[in-house]
Structure 1
Amino acid sequence: QWNFPAIQIANINALQALAPAEIAKVAAVVIEPLIQGAAGMRLWPPGTLRGVRDWCSRTETLLIVDEVMTGFGRTGRMFASEHEGVIPDMMVLGKGLTGGYLPLAITLISEKLFSAFDGCVADGKALAYGHSYTGNALGCAAAKASLEVFENERVLEVLKPKIQRLSSALADLEELPGVREVRQCGFIAGIETVRAEMAAAVCLEARRYGLLTRPIWNVVVLMPPLCITMAQLIKAVEALRAAIVEVWRCSNASREKDAEEVTA
């Protein structure tokens, strides 16, 4: 079983502060470009990805970008790495590759890396790896169809005004009670609330208004489908607004009732 040691680096300054002895032990840096998903939809400071690329090039360390969430238009460009003009050594893709219809993932590598495996098994070069569903024909057909939609329906071009409309719709959510911060990266948004329980309650309440989403800790995630209409997009944000207001009202009413019972 592979069990490679890993360390977490907080920011580009911490990466650049690594001592030569530590750098010598680093095989690769893995990063979600622009925004961290499971960490709570947290944005990297501008220039972070570019800085990591420069550091990796300078130290001859591989750069692996995880574009499973951010790839295929989710940030406004086909790949999030494009925003800072970065070409990684390895890129991991999935989810949006098939439009979510079938599970399929793909790992892209640079020509330099591929050349080490460009040969036959007898020469000890070929990467002898595979599993039962590798190259699944149905999954590949779904991916091909999804990519054709991107091209034929000009998805990236049509997406631009939707991203702008989402920004304007989210603008005043931060002023609502119980909301700490609203973060957005392209067609990805995270509404951070004061408690994890509130985020979960908001997601449940939003269902009453026709919106299905989920929380990550104390953050309500909003990742609309790229094909959403403007009217549906506004309805989604308004559903969140109504849910936040209602959950906060109910939580306040509950606290006031508890206070009355204590003083009675």
Structure 2
Amino acid sequence: MLSSRYLYLHEALGLGPMWLKRDAKVITTPPAARTVDTVSAPIPAAEPPHTPHTPQAIAEHREPAVTPAAQNTPAAVRTAAAPVNNARAAALAAVGSHIGAAEDKSQENQPAAKTTNEPLPPAHDIAYYLETLAGRIAPAKLMVVSICPSPQDKVAGKLFSGATGQLLDNMLAAIGLAAADVHKTSWLEMPTYEAEPPAEIIERALPRMQAECALSRPQALLLLGRFFAADGRKPLVESLAGHLPVFYVPHPAQLLRQPQLKADAWRELKKLRDKLK
């Protein structure tokens, strides 16, 4: 004799068809007991098992009739007494709904995706910046320009802070320039993580740079980094420099990472020193 609870457990575990002897007797389990076993048995996510082909198994696989007593039980209990296939589908659907709700909730707490483009600065002309920056920029022998401040500079509240600034000061001191002889600035006012900032941002910052150059009245420009030395930047640099001589050296932050570039930078600095005499 074989209990029908074992048949349900065998099917719920996905063990495949169960072959029984023709004279095997199956003890039918009351619906209430069957409900407990069905709920407690693990429900795998595998394909539904094949239906046994014995007459007893086929009869047992059919959905049990709902008795009057069962009709008075809660709906959840009656649903659990359904065939294992229905119970498995209901369980998977419930789990899926909980997962979907959790994903939606997690997406609500996620920060907005970071945009790659920098915000456009206000569109002002040179006259606006000449008035705004008047009295804040002193005359200097040299104007030093980088593409943007570093995140550390924004924290420190100072352009060319830390080891980068110390190396730049040493480079300028080596050609006879004190801090008061140099106007240091950056083309963009905010840090950027793009190797090629959008052209719109670069163009909108040009009037401010032209105003700074007019107020500092330098004898030459020193441009730091590969951005200014790249092909196609000549018209932009000429728009800023005008008739002033322009010199290019790697950014001090790059020189700290690649000391082998210091020899070329020193040769360019000596040319700048000769021009300032």
Band of TM-score, shorter chain = under 0.3
Q: TM-score w.r.t. structure 2 length?
A: 0.21
- Tell me which structure has the larger Cα radius of gyration: 2
Q: Which structure ranks higher in relative contact order (CA pairs < 8 Å, sequence separation ≥ 6)? A: 2
Q: Which has the higher helix share?
A: 2
Greater fraction strand? 1
TM-score (norm 1): 0.21
